Amino acid sequence: MTTGVRHTRPSQPTLEMVAEEAGVSRATVSRVVNGSPKVRADIVAAVTAAVERLNYVPNRAARSLASHQTQAVALVVPEDMTRFFGDPYFAAVVQGITRRLDESDYTLNLLVASSDPRHKTMRYLRSGNVDGALIISHHTGDDFVAELETTMPVVFGGRPSNDTQTNAYFVDVDNAAGAETGTQRLIDIGRHRIGSITGPVDMPAGIDRLSGFLRTLERAGMPTDAVESADFTAAGATAAAERLLERCPDIDGLFVASDLMATGVLAVLHKHSRSVPGDVAVVSFDDSPAATSGPVQLTTVNQPSDEMGFAMADVLLRRLADDDSDVPFRTIMPTRLVLRDSA
């Protein structure tokens, strides 16, 4: 009777088996499985075919234990729930983020961190529940954001509010240039008394859009006093527009810092029997669904919010894969003016 050791193939295909089948290294298979964009298309095709032939399923739990990673990232939004679910900008960014994460094994945890529970947010993030974080809609006073950068890889949606964060990774548009384009449109169609309902001045987007507006008027030799600030909400813009019309009743052009805010401004103009664009021309910012949801189709500065979300997630995944040697700290995406009925 013959005895010996019987060698059998594992019941479940392994990463090594996929590598052998595809004729590549184990590391290459890992990069493909984790969605790295730096693998050649022909290699991706070979690995994908091998995965399908072997019916390989990545073992997330085993990989997480071996790498000390959770295979999860957090989207941190320092706002209250009402603003997060009420502003179409956030929906577009999240859509872009999930499109990129769908190409990887990472899942997304959403943390809407309003002012009260931010200590809970930090405790959760520091407890090893996620490998990295995406942060959007941050304010100057959000000190916990700077602390988070010392804990894990972070990518910002928008220029960081702290100018000393020179090594921060972020994806943004040139908000000042976009505001200049929008304001110049009002000048070009012959408006002489141009005002603005700005975003919050404790947020980089609000600051930069105001800066672009003022710079354009100064260049044209026009007055810059017709300015009221709001908070990127329709309600805030409504109150600001009431204040501005009372103080500057001769306004014939308005640059509004977001489409959602502009919906509130249009309601105020209608209340005061000011036609748009006849009496007051309006240009806004975002090119979100809010721009076309009201009685007047808004001329607006388009920012590619979905693509910004995709780019944010891509930068973070490359950092988590130690694949960030050629990733720029700043990714600035283009804006363009979309002409509709309001200006």
Cβ(298)–Cβ(286) under 8 Å?
A: no
Segment 3-41, tens digit of pLDDT: 444 444 445 778 788 889 899 887 788 778 766 667 888
Q: Which domains does the chain have, with CATH numbers?
A: 15-58 (1.10.260.40), 72-173+305-333 (3.40.50.2300), 175-303 (3.40.50.2300)
Distance CA(54)–CA(245), nearest Å, equals: 69
For 254-263, b/e burial (b = at least 16 CB within 10 A) is: bbbbbbbbbb
Mean pLDDT of the chain: 85
Report which DSSP code applies to 324.
-
Distance CA(140)–CA(138), nearest Å, equals: 7
Q: Poorest-confidence range of 77-86, 208-217, 250-259?
A: 77-86
Segment 72-90, tens digit of pLDDT: 899 988 777 777 888 888 8
Q: What angle do CA 31, 37, 39 make, to 5 degrees?
A: 60
Segment 121-139, tens digit of pLDDT: 777 777 778 888 999 887 7
Segment 270-289, tens digit of pLDDT: 999 999 999 999 999 999 99
Is the pLDDT at 102 greater than 80? The verdict is yes
In the chain, % of residues over pLDDT 70: 86
Is the pLDDT at 44 greater than 50? The verdict is yes
Q: Which residue has the tokens 């408006």?
A: 191
Query: What is the DSSP annotation of 229-265?
Result: E--SSHHHHHHHHHHHHHH-TT--EEEES-HHHHHHH
Average pLDDT over residues 314-334: 82
Neighbours of 166 (CB within 10 A): 9
| Start-to-end CA span in the chain (Å) | 94
Average pLDDT over residues 283-312: 94
Which has more pLDDT, 329 or 182? 182
Q: Which of 86, 105, 93, 97 is nearest to 31 (CA)?
A: 105
Average pLDDT over residues 315-328: 78
Tell me what pLDDT residue 249 has: 95
In the chain, % of residues over pLDDT 90: 49
Average pLDDT over residues 218-224: 96
